[in-house]
């Protein structure tokens, strides 16, 4: 936090700080060789994540007082000092400091904090968490529009929109929500992007559909056609197309690959999890573990 490694319980911020105006990133470091095992870590897609942190900061008027390389070194040091042995979540956060600059919206000083913690992966060979059933509903809440609160910048305030949709889904007995965008096309989940599979092709909405420019999505758009030979298409998806997909899955750093069992109680496809979703998740697990030579460039050793 602000250049020092400190224990979680001592990483304190005053209740007066407008932390909801802050921005953040969600990054993961996976264990090399076997992500269900123990060992040394590689950070996945550090560069696009840290570049997006800078874009988010620019959009929301925050300045990061360290260089990208300094944040990488700080992150590595934090992971080492923690002595983590299994997969780690890394969430750099930048917050404005109250009473600095011209206004809380144009602050002069900032907090930089890089919390890290362990998480349970859904990926990896034979992981039973991957095939757990997950029932979704299309939310009655629309995703925040790009000309209102841009979903492309990872600001905490965006997640109030996700909260509305998630609570609505829980109240109605579902596991999660899928947003439509302001035009009524399929958008994304509350914290992950969405893809469908129809007739052997993976389809995902464009960045203009009020989605976050997801690092996982970009990764998938690259390796699915190039490494797995499965065609991909980026285009708007209608609600009915989603219902009549052969497969559908969410993808993002946090939830990794989340197969969708049903949407609005309509079962998706004949098989759950679907064969293409499973193939993508299995290959992704190998990429994350550093077992795919041509994709090692996506990993930064700790
Ligand atoms: N959409 C939203 C709203 C998210 O919060 C996330 C997670 N950061 C994603 C999509 C997936 O993005 P990424 O693949 O970069 O984690």
Q: Is the CB of 78 under 6 A from ligand 1?
A: no
In which band, very low, low, confident or very high, does the pLDDT at 136 lie, cut at 50, 70 and 90?
very high
Distance from the alpha carbon of residue 155 to the mean position of ligand 1, in angstroms: 11
What pLDDT, on a 0 to 100 scale, did the predictor assign at position 243?
A: 98
Contact 122, 130 (CB under 8 A): yes
Mutate to test the pocket of ligand 1, among 252, 258, 287 (most ligand atoms within 8 A of CB): 252
Average pLDDT over every residue of 236-242: 98
Q: Is the CB of 254 under 6 A from ligand 1?
A: yes
What pLDDT, on a 0 to 100 scale, did the predictor assign at position 299?
A: 98
Q: Is the CB of 214 under 6 A from ligand 1?
A: yes
What pLDDT, on a 0 to 100 scale, did the predictor assign at position 135?
A: 98
Ligand 1 atom showing the smallest separation from residue 217 Cα: 14
What pLDDT, on a 0 to 100 scale, did the predictor assign at position 73?
A: 98
What pLDDT, on a 0 to 100 scale, did the predictor assign at position 112?
A: 96
What pLDDT, on a 0 to 100 scale, did the predictor assign at position 76?
A: 98
Average pLDDT over every residue of 196-215: 98
Contact 162, 184 (CB under 8 A): no
For the chain, give the percent of residues with pLDDT over 70.
Answer: 100
CA separation for the pair 267, 218 (Å, rounded) = 27
Mean pLDDT, all residues of the chain: 97
Distance from the alpha carbon of residue 57 to the mean position of ligand 1, in angstroms: 16
Contact 112, 65 (CB under 8 A): yes
Q: Is the CB of 193 under 6 A from ligand 1?
A: yes
What pLDDT, on a 0 to 100 scale, did the predictor assign at position 180?
A: 98
What pLDDT, on a 0 to 100 scale, did the predictor assign at position 46?
A: 98
Average pLDDT over every residue of 191-203: 98
Ligand 1 atom showing the smallest separation from residue 188 Cα: 1
Residue minimizing CA distance to atom 4 of ligand 1: 191
Ligand 1 atom showing the smallest separation from residue 219 Cα: 14
Q: Is the CB of 212 under 6 A from ligand 1?
A: yes
Contact 56, 18 (CB under 8 A): no
**Interacting residues of 219 by C-beta distance below 8 A, sequence separation 6+:** 45, 284, 287, 298
What pLDDT, on a 0 to 100 scale, did the predictor assign at position 9?
A: 94
In which band, very low, low, confident or very high, does the pLDDT at 232 lie, cut at 50, 70 and 90?
very high
Q: Is the CB of 166 under 6 A from ligand 1?
A: no
């Amino acid at each position: 936090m602000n250049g020092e490694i400190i224990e979680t319980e001592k990483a304190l911020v005053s209740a007066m700080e407008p932390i909801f105006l802050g921005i953040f990133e969600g990054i993961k470091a996976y264990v090399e060789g076997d992500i269900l095992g123990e060992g040394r870590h590689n950070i996945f897609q550090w560069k696009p994540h840290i570049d997006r942190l800078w874009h988010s900061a620019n959009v929301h008027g925050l300045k990061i007082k360290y260089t990208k390389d300094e944040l990488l070194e700080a992150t590595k040091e934090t992971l080492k000092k923690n002595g983590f042995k299994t997969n780690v979540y890394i969430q750099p956060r930048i917050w404005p400091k109250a009473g600095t600059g011209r206004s809380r919206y144009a602050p002069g000083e900032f907090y930089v904090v890089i919390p890290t913690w362990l998480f349970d992966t859904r990926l990896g060979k034979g992981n039973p968490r991957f095939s757990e059933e997950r029932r979704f509903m299309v939310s009655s809440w629309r995703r925040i529009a790009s000309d209102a609160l841009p979903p492309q910048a990872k600001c905490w305030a965006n997640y109030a929109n996700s909260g509305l949709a998630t609570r609505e889904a829980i109240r109605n007995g579902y596991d999660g929500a899928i947003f439509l965008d302001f035009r009524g096309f399929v958008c994304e989940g509350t914290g992950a992007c969405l893809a469908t599979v129809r007739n052997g092709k993976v389809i995902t909405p464009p960045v203009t559909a009020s989605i976050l420019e997801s690092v996982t999505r970009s990764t998938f758009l690259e390796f699915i056609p190039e490494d797995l030979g499965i065609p991909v298409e980026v285009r708007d998806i209608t609600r009915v197309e989603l219902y009549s997909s052969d497969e559908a899955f969410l993808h993002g750093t946090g939830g990794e690959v989340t197969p969708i069992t049903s949407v609005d109680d309509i079962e998706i496809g004949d098989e759950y999890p679907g064969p293409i979703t499973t193939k993508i998740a299995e290959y992704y697990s190998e990429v994350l573990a550093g077992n795919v030579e041509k994709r090692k460039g996506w990993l930064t050793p700790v």
